[in-house]
A and B are shown apart, each in its own frame.
Chain A
Amino acid sequence: MAAAVVGRHQTGVWRFLRALGCEPSLADDLTQETFLQLLRQESFVHHSDAATAAYLRRTARNLYISRHRRERRLQVGAVAETVEAVWLDWTSPHDRSDELLSMLNECLQGLTERARLALRMRFKDNAGRAAIGDALGISEHGAKNLMQRAKHQLRECIENKLKSRQD
Chain B
Amino acid sequence: MNKSEPHADDLPLDPLERVMDGLLSELLGGVRPPDLSAEILERWASDDRPSTVRLDPRRTRMRRMIVAGSGVAAVAASLGLIAWGLGTTERLQPSNTSVAAALPRAATKSNEPLDPPGRPPAANVLADPSTTPPAANPPVAIQLDTSDVPFAQSEDRPGPTDIADHFAGPPPSSARAGRPSRMRPEQIVAEIDRLFEQFWTRKGFAEVQDAEAPEFVDRLHLSLTGIPAPSEQRDALVEQLTQTGPLGLAAQFVESSGASAHIGQRLAAMLVGHAAWERLSKAEQEQLTELVSPLSLGRKTYDQFLSETLSARGSIDPSSPQFNQNLRLLSAWNSSQQMDATKRIARLCFAQSIGCAQCHDDSINGGLEQRSFWNLNALVRNDLQWSNSNVREDRTTASGSIVNAPAVFFESLDGRQRVAEPTGIAAFVGKDLTAIPSLEQLVVLADEDGRLGRAAADLTWQFLFGESLVSTSQPLSGSSADAELIAVQSLLAEQTRAYDYHLPTVVGWLMSSRVYRTAGVDPVQLTRGPDALAAIEAARRRTQAWAAFKRPGQVRSLEKLLKLSELWTGGSVSGSDEQTLLAQLAPPTMMSRRPATPGSVANSSQEKSPEQLLLRASFPSDDPANLPLPWLEPIGRKGFESQVKHLYAWAGINDPSAEQMQAAERIRASVGGDPTHALRILHWALSESRLPMCL
Contacts and interface: CB of A to CB of B under 8 A. Distances in A.
Interface string A127-164: 01100000000000000000010010011000000000
Q: Is the interface of B mostly helix, strand, loop or mixed?
A: loop
Contact of A45 (B34, B37, B39, B132): B132
A37 B51 CA distance: 8
Contact of B5 (A79, A85, A126): A126
B147 interface: yes
B135 A47 contact: yes
B20 interface: yes
Given A105-B27, A126-B3, A154-B20, 5 more contacts: A36-B40, A43-B138, A51-B134, A148-B17, A151-B20
Given A40-B124, A48-B129, A123-B4, A28 B34 contact: yes
A101 B26 contact: yes
B15 A36 contact: no
Interface in A1-15: 1-3, 5-7, 10-11, 14-15
Given A23-B2, A31-B36, A154-B20, A46 B132 contact: yes
A72 B133 contact: no
B31 interface: yes
Contacts of B144: 69
Interface in B317-369: 363, 366-367
B40 A86 contact: no
* Size category, A interface: 35 or more
Nearest to A75: B480
B126 interface: yes
A40 B49 contact: yes
11 contacts: A20-B18, A39-B40, A43-B138, A45-B126, A45-B134, A51-B134, A59-B140, A69-B147, A100-B23, A126-B2, A129-B10
A24 B124 CA distance: 29
Given A1-B126, A18-B25, A19-B19, A43 B135 contact: yes
B145 interface: yes
Contacts of B29: 123-124, 126
B19 A87 contact: yes
* Size category, B interface: 35 or more
A66 B147 CA distance: 8
Q: Is the interface of A mostly helix, strand, loop or mixed?
A: helix
B28 A120 contact: yes
Nearest to A159: B16
B120 to A, nearest CB: 8
Contact of B147 (A10, A46, A59, A70): A70
Interface string A74-115: 010111011101110010000000001100110010000000
Given A40-B49, A40-B52, A66-B147, A58 B367 contact: no
B530 interface: no
B489 to A, nearest CB: 13
B393 interface: no
A75 to B, nearest CB: 6
A102 to B, nearest CB: 9
Contact of A79 (B15, B33, B43): B15
Contacts of B47: 36, 39-40
Nearest to A1: B126
Contacts of A35: 36, 40, 44
